[in-house]
Amino acid sequence: MEVSVYFFKTAATFYFFAVLVFLFYLMAQKETVTKVAVGVYFAGFVVHTIGMIVKYFQAGYAPIVNLHDGLAFFAWSVGGIYFILYYKFRIDILGVFVAPISFIFILIAFAFNHELANLAPVLRSFWRPIHITFSFLGDAMFAVAAVAGVMYLLQERQLKKKKMNMLYYLLPSLEVSDMINYKCITFGFPLLTLGIITGALWADSAWGTYWSWDPKETWSLITWFIYAAMLHGRLTTGWRGRKVAILSIIGFFAILFTFLGVNLLLGGSHAVDVHLQK
């Protein structure tokens, strides 16, 4: 077994316990509990980072070539963005929603082949790691934007019902949730755009064409239009609040389908392990 797998399994264990402690925070509502949860989550993130570095040196190339690698990298990216937002805004409950994403995705990663393999010529491109990094960081930004959308809708429901439970006091204000949503989409959209552009450059160097309407290319474009519409609506007609929160959640489901559904159901040149040589 690759050494990196042990690090990923350890990271998954930390993520699992972080989820449990965050859930306990919902009941205890004590700052000391959330500090423990953040610490456990961060420990998992550090171990996860070490695992990726180890795998890089084992492979001799950026080891994001199949669904296992992609899922693990996405789980890591979500964690990294969470810690940036946590230390900037100190929203304790944010980890309640984000930590499970890291845990679930790294857990799913183990369902797919994780063995190192020789790269096929098409993957030995200068553009591959650049395209992948931009794409996954953008997707992770949109994941956190969706989380902010969920927090907004939950808090809005509390206010409309006028029956405040513990969530009302733990969730950020509607303005803060909306602001986090906007910031994540504002940073995520350029990353997604760069991911599509560098993907097109990679496709041209590999197959001699910038765009072939491959299923993943098509769904990436659909996702791009969803977030472009959100930003356009916000900047030109003042879209705020509930509408953007719902669209953020829909957009993230589109990303999940682009990432997982296309690979598993539709195939194409981005299909699982299609470019690996055993």
Per-residue model confidence (pLDDT) at position 277: 34
Tokens of 159: 């206010």
Confidence of residue 235 (pLDDT cuts 50, 70, 90): confident
Confidence of residue 266 (pLDDT cuts 50, 70, 90): low
Return d(Cα 244, Cα 233) in angstroms, integer. Answer: 9
Please write the tens of the pLDDT for every residue from 23-68.
999 988 888 999 999 999 999 999 999 999 998 888 877 778 788 8
**Which one of 59, 94, 116 terminates a domain?**
116
Tokens of 30: 């004590």
**Which DSSP state fits 121?**
G
Per-residue model confidence (pLDDT) at position 117: 66
Mean pLDDT of 265-278: 46
Per-residue model confidence (pLDDT) at position 1: 54
Q: Where are the beta strands (DSSP E) in the chain?
A: 118-119, 276-277
Mean pLDDT of 150-168: 87
Per-residue model confidence (pLDDT) at position 206: 74
Residue with tokens 């449990």: 20
In three-state secondary structure terms, 35 is helix
Confidence of residue 217 (pLDDT cuts 50, 70, 90): confident
Q: DSSP string spanning 129-178?
A: HHHHHHHHHHHHHHHHHHHHHHHHHHHHHHHHHT---HHHHHSPPHHHHH
Give the residue from 52, 49, 81, 63 showing the smallest Cα distance to 146.
Answer: 81
Tokens of 269: 């040149």
Say if CB 215 and CB 267 are below 8 A apart. yes
What is the amino acid identity at position 56? Y
Mean pLDDT of 190-208: 88
Give the residue from 205, 274, 220 showing the smallest Cα distance to 251.
Answer: 220
Return d(Cα 162, Cα 153) in angstroms, integer. Answer: 14
Rounded to two decimals, the pTM is 0.89
In three-state secondary structure terms, 118 is strand
Q: Are residues 204 and 267 in the same domain?
A: yes
In the chain, the number of structural domains is: 2
Mean pLDDT of 124-147: 91
Mean pLDDT of 116-144: 84
Q: Are residues 86 and 26 in the same domain?
A: yes
Among residues of the chain, what percentage have pLDDT more than 90?
57
Burial class, 145, CB count within 10 angstroms (exposed 0-12 / middle 13-18 / buried 19+): buried
Phi, psi dihedral angles at 277 (to 5 degrees):
-115, 120
Q: Are residues 164 and 267 in the same domain?
A: yes
Mean pLDDT of 273-278: 37
Range from 63-67, 95-99, 124-128, 264-268 that averages highest in pLDDT? 95-99
Q: Are residues 42 and 170 in the same domain?
A: no
Per-residue model confidence (pLDDT) at position 274: 39
Among residues of the chain, what percentage have pLDDT more than 70?
92
51: left (phi over 0), alpha (psi -120 to 50) or beta: alpha
Return d(Cα 240, Cα 103) in angstroms, integer. Answer: 30
| Mean pLDDT rounded to a whole number for the chain | 87
Per-residue model confidence (pLDDT) at position 246: 95
Give a yes or no: residue 35 inside a domain.
Answer: yes
Q: Are residues 157 and 226 in the same domain?
A: yes
Per-residue model confidence (pLDDT) at position 267: 52
Mean pLDDT of 166-194: 93
More confident position, 249 or 160: 249
Beta-carbon contacts of residue 27 (< 8 Å; ≥ 6 apart): none
Per-residue model confidence (pLDDT) at position 262: 74
Q: Are residues 89 and 169 in the same domain?
A: no
Packing angle of the helix pair 67-89, 31-59 (nearest 10 deg): 140
Give a yes or no: residue 123 inside a domain.
Answer: no
Say if CB 203 and CB 209 are below 8 A apart. yes
Q: Are residues 200 and 244 in the same domain?
A: yes
Mean pLDDT of 160-185: 89
Is the predicted pLDDT of residue 275 greater than 80, yes or no? no
Give the residue from 158, 155, 159 showing the smallest Cα distance to 147.
Answer: 155
Which structural domain range is residue 201 located in?
129-278
Per-residue model confidence (pLDDT) at position 60: 79
Residue with tokens 């350029």: 190
Per-residue model confidence (pLDDT) at position 231: 92
Q: Are residues 51 and 162 in the same domain?
A: no
Q: Are residues 136 and 241 in the same domain?
A: yes
